[in-house]
Amino acid sequence: MDATGCTIRFLLNGAPHEVAGVDPHTTLLQYLREHLQWVGTKEGCAEGDCGACTVVIGELDDNGEVSINPINACIRLLPTLDGKAVFTVESLASKDALHPVQQAIVNCHGSQCGFCTPGFVMALFALFKNEAAPSRERVCEAIAGNLCRCTGYRPILDAAQMMYSLTEANDTAADWMRAPATCNAKHDGNEILATAIRQLRRNVSLDYVANGVRFIAPKSVDEFSALVATNPSAWILGGGTDIGLWVTKALQTNATIIYTGEIAALRAIVENDDAITIGATVSLDVAFRAMNRIYPELAHVWTRFASWPIRTSGTLGGNVANGSPIGDSMPALIALDAKVALRKGNEKRVIPLESLYIDYKKQSRAAGEWVEAIVLPKRKALAGSGNDGNLRIGFYKNSKRNEQDISAVCAAIAIRVEGDVVVHCRIAFGGMAGIPKRALHTEASLIGKAWSEENIRVAMNVMARDYAPMSDMRASAEYRMQVAQNHLLRFWFESQGEAVGLMEARVF
């Protein structure tokens, strides 16, 4: 590996930009506003929740194509931008005309106080560059991470649909920024941007030191694993959507930060007949799409997992390694019998995901041991006999708000019924214990029994032996228990063809 002394290099609104001497804990938002005095990007919550700080990043995917995504600048550590392109709201300005996204916001009266507007504009810009004709539902999903307190969302949604009609046909050849997704594939601007990003590529790993803090972005799994083994108290940084808050809210620091984002091998998704293996740094967005291909029953909850910017930055490995009792991927993964591949130095082991979690903030991972991949069995492997037609899956999330909210309760149920009898049953919950946890007593009460409402009601009572949930600001213990039991009943009604889910369950 290179000696220290690297600078951070990225494209900022199209121009090469180099940073030295800035503490690696600095967020992109702090850098823009406090170091460059670029104040177009706003700070609202500083925790990824409001979208006021949304900017767009461009990077090369593993096929060498440019991918464009929105991110929350407030929780994105500056060194993670090395080798990427950053576009802020200032990049949309032109001396001749507003950008089509901006013009549409004006035409539709989509801004009053304007504080949220730069964030909305950049979220819509990301949509403009990614999708040619998004439905209203898709637009809602794309701006679910942006809050507006005074305009209201209808004019902003209107603007999202109008923006495509404000591009001039001849703009698209000359100006990549104004070229919508419709012509992305062939657009010269994509190749120009890809070439500029390629020129930032390093042959050696980034090893950046400032203010006594070292930020290392190894390129190979071996290098990463050796670094983690020899620096067990260093932060392993994935997408930073949890760690970013340790910095901005808990004011924590660490003398060594080891970033997973430059290790191409950890971004791989490998599929065989029995399982799909998702590398730890696969983004939540990409991981969810891969999982949805096999388990479409999960898709509706994934759209309620945080927001588009969080899902493109955050990783599946980060969710699993963080192991929050209210994390959303673990209940589904545990109910579907997923395994987690762990590594320490050169030693590897694969364990059932549920056995990673011992107690609140306590895991069976040794110091220096890290998450390499998540292995999700396919339907056939899960169904045992090979008849996956009998496999039935339920996945439910309760939160106070439909969009961008943390779960009070998250339920995942997988059963197989043969004839009338339950032959396979795995149930896991988030929000019901200090860890994501299986309902072992409930499962046992159902296996081998007839699939009937009567037996479901017995199992609902048994659930009280599996969990002693806590009361907190999200929900009371009584509410949690009742809603968890009711999910079982709902799942039974749905198995009888009844549409119980007209309204996605929320905490009222």
Ligand X SMILES: Cc1cc2nc3c(=O)[nH]c(=O)nc-3n(C[C@H](O)[C@H](O)[C@H](O)COP(=O)(O)OP(=O)(O)OC[C@H]3O[C@@H](n4cnc5c(N)ncnc54)[C@H](O)[C@@H]3O)c2cc1C
Q: Are 395 and 333 in contact (CB under 8 A)?
A: no
Do the Cβ atoms of 409 and 431 come closer than 8 Å? yes
- The token pair that represents 399 in the structure block: 């939160």
Count Cβ atoms within 10 A of the Cβ of residue 96 and give its class: 0-12 exposed, 13-18 middle, 19 or more buried. exposed
Q: Could you give the string, one character per residue 89-118, with x where binding to ligand FES holds by CB under 6 A and - elsewhere?
A: ----------------------xxxxxxx-
How far from 273 is each of 270, 276, 294, CA to CA, in Å? Answer: 10, 8, 12
**CA terminus-to-terminus distance, the chain:** 54
Show the site string, 373-392: x = touches ligand FES by CB under 6 A, - = not. Answer: --------------------
Q: Min. distance of Cβ 5 from ligand FES in angstroms? A: 31
Question: Considering only CA atoms, which of 229, 286, 285, 235 is closest in space to residue 260?
Answer: 235
Which string of DSSP letters, residue by residue, matches 196-250? HHHTT--SS-EEEEETTEEEEE-SSHHHHHHHHHH-TTSEEESS-TTHHHHHHTS
Shorter beta-carbon distance to ligand FES: residue 393 or 406 = 406
* Contact (Cβ atoms closer than 8 angstroms) between residue 216 and residue 227: yes
Q: Which of 177, 284, 375, 391 binds ligand X (CB under 6 A)?
A: 284
Interacting span for ligand X (CB under 6 A) from 47-55, 158-166, 286-294, 472-480: 47-55
314 binds ligand FES per the rule CB under 6 A: no
What lies within 8 Å, CB to CB, of 464 at 6+ separation is 481
371 binds ligand X (CB under 6 A): yes
* Residue 190: CB minimum distance to ligand X, A: 27
How far is it, in rounded angstroms, from Cα 396 to Cα 283? 22
Contacting residue, 83, 189, 314, 469, with ligand X by CB under 6 A? 314
Which span (142-150, 201-209, 474-482, 496-504) binds ligand FES, by CB under 6 A?
142-150
Q: How far is the CB of 309 from ligand FES (least distance, A)?
A: 8
3-class secondary structure, 248: helix
Task: Decide if residue 45 touches ligand FES (CB under 6 A).
Answer: yes
Torsion sign across C-alpha atoms 267, 255, 88, 319? positive
Q: Rule CB under 6 A: is residue 50 a binding residue for ligand X?
A: no
- In terms of CB distance, is 151 or 322 closer to ligand X? 322
Interface with ligand FES includes 239 (CB under 6 A)?
Answer: no
Contact 293, 275 (CB under 8 A): no
Does position 27 interact with ligand FES (CB under 6 A)? The reply is no
Out of 151, 319, 398, 442, which residue is the one contacting ligand X (CB under 6 A)?
319
- Per CB under 6 A, residues contacting ligand X are 47-49, 235-243, 245, 260, 280, 284, 305-306, 310, 313-315, 317-319, 321-322, 327-328, 370-371, 404, 406
Q: By CB under 6 A, name the binding residues for ligand FES.
A: 43-46, 48-53, 72, 74, 111-117, 148-151
